[in-house]
Amino acid sequence: MPAALQTRALAKRYGTIEALRGVELEVGEGELVGLLGPNGAGKSTLVKIAVGLVHPTGGDATVCGAPAGSAAARASLGYLAELFRFPGWYSADEVLLLHQRLAGSNGGEAERTELLRLVGLLDARGRKVDAMSKGMQQRLGIAQALVGSPRILLLDEPTSALDPAGRRTVRRLLEELRARGVAVLLNSHLLSEVELVCDRVVIITGGSVVAAGTPAELSRARGVEIETAAGLREFPDATRDDAPHLVAELVAAGERIYEVRVRRTSLEETYLHAVGEDAT
Partner 1 sequence: MFAIVLVLTAVFLGLYALGTDRAFQEVAEFEQDPTFQAVDERTLAGATLLGLAMFGTLFLGAVLAVFLTHAVVRGDAERGLLQPLVVRPLGRTTLLGARFLAAAVVCGLYAAGLFAATAGITYWTGSWWPDRFWLPAAELAAAAVVVCMLSLLGSVFLSATANGIAVFMLVGAGIVGGLLGQIGAALDSETLVDVAEKASWALPFEALYQDALHAISSESFGLTGELLQLGPFGGAQSAGGALWPWVVGYLAAAGALAAFVFGRKDL
| Residue 143 lies near partner 1 (rule: CB under 8 A) | no
Q: Which of 46, 64, 77, 201 binds partner 1 (CB under 8 A)?
A: 77
Backbone angles phi, psi at 18, to 5 degrees: -90, 105
Complex with partner 1: residue 147 or 224, whichever CB lies closer: 147
CB of 114 to partner 1, least distance (A): 19
Residue 65 binding partner 1, by CB under 8 A: no
Least CB distance from residue 63 to partner 1, whole Å?
11
Residues 37, 120, 141, 158: which binds partner 1 (CB under 8 A)? 141
Written as one letter, the residue type at 247 is V
The answer to whether 71 contacts partner 1 (rule: CB under 8 A) is: yes
Based on the shown chain and the rule CB under 8 A, indicate whether residue 84 belongs to the binding site for partner 1: yes
Instruction: Identify which of 263, 262, 264, 257 has the alpha carbon closest to the alpha carbon of residue 227.
Output: 257
Mark 154-183 with x for binding to partner 1 (rule: CB under 8 A) and - for no binding: ------------------------------
Please check whether residue 186 is in contact with residue 174, taking contact to mean a CB–CB distance below 8 angstroms. yes
Using the rule CB under 8 A, which residue among 11, 41, 51, 194 binds partner 1? 51
Q: Is residue 75 part of the contact set for partner 1 (CB under 8 A)?
A: yes
Please identify, among the stretches 82-90, 177-185, 220-228, 258-266, the one whose residues bind partner 1 according to the rule CB under 8 A.
82-90
Type of residue at 132? M
Q: Give the residues across from 201 on adjacent strands.
A: 34, 213
- For residue 33, give the amino acid letter: V
CB of 102 to partner 1, least distance (A): 4
Query: Using the 8-state DSSP alphabet, how is residue 273 labeled?
Result: H
Angle (nearest 5°) at CA 230 between 229 and 234: 105
81 binds partner 1 (CB under 8 A): yes
- Nearest C-alpha neighbor of 161 from the set 191, 128, 182, 136: 136
Beginning with the edge strand found earlier in the chain, give each strand of the sheet holding 183-187 in spatial order: 77-80, 152-156, 183-187, 32-36, 200-205, 208-213
H/E element, 155:
strand 152-156
Taking CB under 8 A as the rule, does residue 53 contact partner 1?
yes
- Partner residues linked to 264 by β-bridges: 221
74 binds partner 1 (CB under 8 A): yes
Site string for partner 1, 90-129 (x = CB under 8 A): ---------x--xxx-------------------------
Instruction: Tell me: does residue 271 bind partner 1 (CB under 8 A).
Output: no
What strands, in cross-sheet order, belong to the sheet with 66-67?
Answer: 17-27, 5-14, 58-63, 66-67
The least distance separating partner 1 from the CB of residue 122, rounded to whole angstroms, comes to 21
- SS3 of 219-246: CCEEEEEEEECCEEEEECCCCHHHHHHH
Q: Does residue 215 interact with partner 1 by CB under 8 A?
A: no
Q: Which is nearer to partner 1, 37 or 141 (CB)?
A: 141
In angstroms, rounded to a whole number, what is the distance separating the alpha carbons of residues 279 and 250? 32
In the complex, the residues that contact partner 1 under the rule CB under 8 A are: 14, 48, 51-55, 71-72, 74-75, 77, 79, 81, 83-87, 99, 102-104, 141, 144
